A and B are shown apart, each in its own frame.
Chain A
Amino acid sequence: MRLLISLIAGCLFGAGLLISGMTDTTKVQGWLDVFGNWDPTLAFVMGGAIIPMLFAWRMTEHRRPLVGGTFPTMSPPELDRRLVVGSVLFGMGWGLSGLCPGPAIASVTYGGVGGLVFLAAMIAGMYAAPTVGAQLDRTANAA
């Protein structure tokens, strides 16, 4: 059951990314390019994606996930160094390339060599992240 749900969710996510145009880096960079030919499409995608989730979070009250267990608890509203620095680094890479993790995975079969290299570099970055994060914590303690 878990696997079937994962497959359905992955298929919906992939179809949505393709149809919305979010695997096209020019559309994503168009949204971030406020001083250029600004493209608002991403706002519609984000808004559209948030709508079903508003209902979904409401439905998590007073019930359990279909497969049992518990729903993820909300992290304490703490804005730490990791959240800020990580989001800055991610945003820079996103702006530079026009790819974030979802579309990078979804477009891997038609993104050519560049798409494959991006995915490989992203995975390498994920391998390196715990080390970089630990370094970040050390400088935080030293400061």
Chain B
Amino acid sequence: MQLEWIWGLAGGLLIGLGAAVYLLGNGRIMGASGILGGLVDNSDRTLERLVFVAGLVGMPLLLRPLMSPTPQTHLTGNIAVIIFSGLLVGIGTRIANGCTSGHGVCGISRFSLRGIVATVIYIAAGAITLAVLRHMWGVI
């Protein structure tokens, strides 16, 4: 268990380093929903966004076979839950203008009130959703 925390910390440092490179280099906030959402909205800097996504997809593809045990996503097999939750994540992050990377990592580290409040709200909403659906109703 403790080993997983150390891997978590190490991975977290890499994520933060990526965000720092993006900020100090390109002067942009490294937020996954913002970078992907900008492609969806046909916003500016399309190539810059595509290259970022390529790195984000490519690196796990390269590294995963080297890891033991091989990481799995363990995503639910319930397709209705997958579609519904995907829609919620897509709509919610774009309306709130940020997700775990933008509001969480980049916002909190800047002591942004909006980032901190958004992070508290989405963690609470996730915890309540799991408490109700898993422990009260037992449906997921």
- Contacts A10-B53, A125-B94 known; A71 to B89 CB distance under 8 Å? no
- Contacts A44-B5, A97-B75 known; A87 to B59 CB distance under 8 Å? no
Interface of chain B, main secondary structure? helix
Across the A-B interface, how many residue pairs have beta carbons closer than 8 Å? Answer: 477
CA separation between A42 and B7, bound complex, in Å? 11
- Interface range for A: 35 or more
CA separation between A89 and B96, bound complex, in Å? 9
CA separation between A110 and B129, bound complex, in Å? 26
- Contacts A21-B7, A71-B27, A118-B85 known; A52 to B19 CB distance under 8 Å? yes
- Contacts A105-B53, A122-B87 known; A96 to B81 CB distance under 8 Å? yes
CA separation between A130 and B31, bound complex, in Å? 18
In the complex, which of the residues B17, B51, B60, B129 contacts A23, with contact meaning CB atoms closer than 8 Å?
B60
A77-88 Cβ-contact flags toward B at 8 Å (1 or 0): 111001111111
In the complex, which of the residues B14, B20, B76, B99 contacts A102, with contact meaning CB atoms closer than 8 Å?
B99
In the complex, which of the residues B4, B51, B126 contacts A94, with contact meaning CB atoms closer than 8 Å?
B126
Q: Are A12 and B57 in contact (CB under 8 A)?
A: no
Q: Are B5 and A40 in contact (CB under 8 A)?
A: yes
Chain B residues with CB under 8 Å of A53's CB are 16, 19-20, 23, 105-106, 109-110
Q: Are A86 and B129 in contact (CB under 8 A)?
A: no
- Contacts A18-B64, A82-B97 known; A10 to B55 CB distance under 8 Å? yes
CA separation between A35 and B128, bound complex, in Å? 10
Q: Are A15 and B60 in contact (CB under 8 A)?
A: yes
Q: A82-B97, A90-B89 are in contact. List 17 more A-B contacts (CB 8 A).
A: A2-B25, A2-B45, A14-B56, A19-B10, A52-B13, A60-B23, A75-B114, A77-B113, A79-B114, A86-B118, A93-B92, A94-B85, A95-B129, A100-B100, A117-B79, A126-B41, A129-B37
Write the residues of chain A forming the contact surface with B, with a CB cutoff of 8 angstroms: 1-3, 5-27, 29, 32-36, 40-42, 44-57, 59-60, 64-72, 74-75, 77-79, 82-102, 104-112, 114-115, 117-130, 132-133, 136
Write the residues of chain B forming the contact surface with A, with a CB cutoff of 8 angstroms: 4-30, 32-33, 36-37, 40-41, 45, 47-49, 51-61, 63-64, 67, 71-77, 79, 81-97, 99-101, 103-106, 108-110, 112-114, 117-119, 121-131, 133-135, 140
